[in-house]
Amino acid sequence: MKVIVLAGGEGKRMWPIQTDKCLIPFLGKPLLYHNLKSLKDNIEAKEFIIIVSPQVKEQAGKIAEDLDLNFQIAVQSNPTGMADAILSAKDLIEGEILVVNAEDILEPKAYQLSGEGDVRVVGFKVDKYFPGGYLKVTGDRVQAVVEKPGEGNEPSDMIKLVVDYFKNGKQLIEYLQKASTDKDDSYEVALDLMIKDRVEVTFTKYEGVWLPLKYPWHILDITAYFLSKLKQQIPPQAKVSEKATIEGNVVIEEGVKVFEGAVIKGPCYIGKNCIVGNNSMIRQSNLEEGCVTGFNCDITRSYIGANSWFHTNYIGDSVLEGDFGMGSGTVLANLRLDNHTIRVGDEKIDTGRDKLGAVAGKGSRVGVNVSTMPGVRIGSGSLVGPGVVLHEDVKDNIKITVKQEYKVSEYTTSLTSYNQFKVKINH
């Protein structure tokens, strides 16, 4: 069997995150590495065909080589959906194939498709609307696939995950080439054509972890999942003060320095060459390599990309892509006081999260004594100047400052001696 790994696409909903979704690092390794390793360890695959966008080709090949996979890379030049992605590799596809998404987090049992059928897909029961493909089913037979039906129009409570087995890969290519639609659902249209032509399409119900990566705050869910798998590991090359506290499942990589008074409460990952400063508190967070937390920082349930630096800050439930700098006294607020879930952007996208701090693109900077409101997004390469209270998104490469006006007048001081001061206190 060949495994078709879909790692292309634009990730338009991920702004301000610039890194390709499959290359976002977790625990020091790209997401694609984690998912390819899981596939390698849990299914019998003859070959992997990894479909990527042009800018990811080199990195994806290196990841596959590191995992010692038998693989080929196919490039999707114009990211216009799943059908286009698979057709970009049509000359490589034959025999039995399994189509999977490179960014979804699934447990290994999701790949064990049971039952009969020329085509087998995986269904997952949801309790609220998800903007994806829904299955119309009778027993274990799929009657139709409905892409993004809109809330209230769902044919069932079962969505289709991207774990699709085809007994004949060439047959899939033929139907994809026949599919015609004005929407971004050619793949689903092809499946419907198969069903109408009496190709047997069945489904397996999957009950387990499923974490899609559609929006940047989903990075926090994936971070929590990977952190939950950690066991404590502290190499002798790391320099951890005897006056620091390490609790729970904490992984500290080589070159890390943890100074006096610091507290790291697991699960946590501290990447290579990070510095955890005096009296800093890090809880349930992922810090990629080269990060520096100066004196008295509190980093809680956050994803911190490589080479970010802080000093006397609070970072709660935030996603900072990397190369992020923050001035002293700045706070990334993460909780609304009216008990509403956090809504993001002008379109008020409901994240479904009670707590969400800032989401910042690579290379952004935030000056001293800034306060960001929950769910604010800061574009890559942007600067938020000192003292700003930021309550709306900042686009890429934008500078925001506040204009402060002084009122100047004469003043005559009335000096108080030390003895006079003591008398006032005593009274």
74 token code pair: 């196919």
Task: Indicate the helix (H) or strand (E) that contains 171.
Answer: helix 169-178
Mean pLDDT value of segment 161-183: 91
**Type of residue at 387:** G
d(CA 42, CA 163): 14
- Residue for token pair 């979704």: 21
2-211 placed in CATH 3.90.550.10: yes
Distance CA 258, CA 271 (A): 12
CA angle 20, 98, 179 (to 5 degrees): 85
Phi, psi of 103 (to 5 degrees): -105, -15
Predicted confidence (pLDDT) at residue 425 exceeds the cutoff of 70: no
pLDDT in tens, 304-336: 999 999 999 999 999 999 999 999 999 999 999
Go through 195-222 and write b for each residue having 16 or more CB atoms within 10 A of its CB, e for each that does not. Answer: beeebebbbbebeeebbbbebbbbbbeb
- Model pLDDT for residues 374-397, shown as the tens digit of each residue: 999 999 999 999 999 999 999 999
Question: Tokens at residue 352, please?
Answer: 């479904």
The residue extents of the domains of the chain are 2-211, 218-400
Can you say whether the dihedral through the CA atoms of 13, 306, 312, 353 is positive or negative? positive
How far apart are the C-alpha atoms of 93 and 186, rounded to whole Å?
18
Residue 80, pLDDT score: 77
Q: Which two tokens stand for residue 307?
A: 């080479």
Q: What is the pLDDT of residues 77-90, one digit of tens each?
A: 877 788 999 999 99
**C-alpha–C-alpha distance, residues 29 and 370, integer Å:** 32
Fold held by 218-400: UDP N-Acetylglucosamine Acyltransferase; domain 1 (2.160.10)
Query: How large is the average pLDDT for residues 141-145?
Result: 90
The pLDDT, as a whole number, for residue 418 is: 67
Instruction: Please indicate whether residue 43 or residue 300 has the higher confidence score (pLDDT).
Output: 300
User: What pTM value is reported for the model?
Assistant: 0.93
Split at pLDDT 50, 70, 90, the class of 420 is: low
pLDDT band at 164 (very low <50, low <70, confident <90, very high): very high
For residue 76, the SS3 value is coil
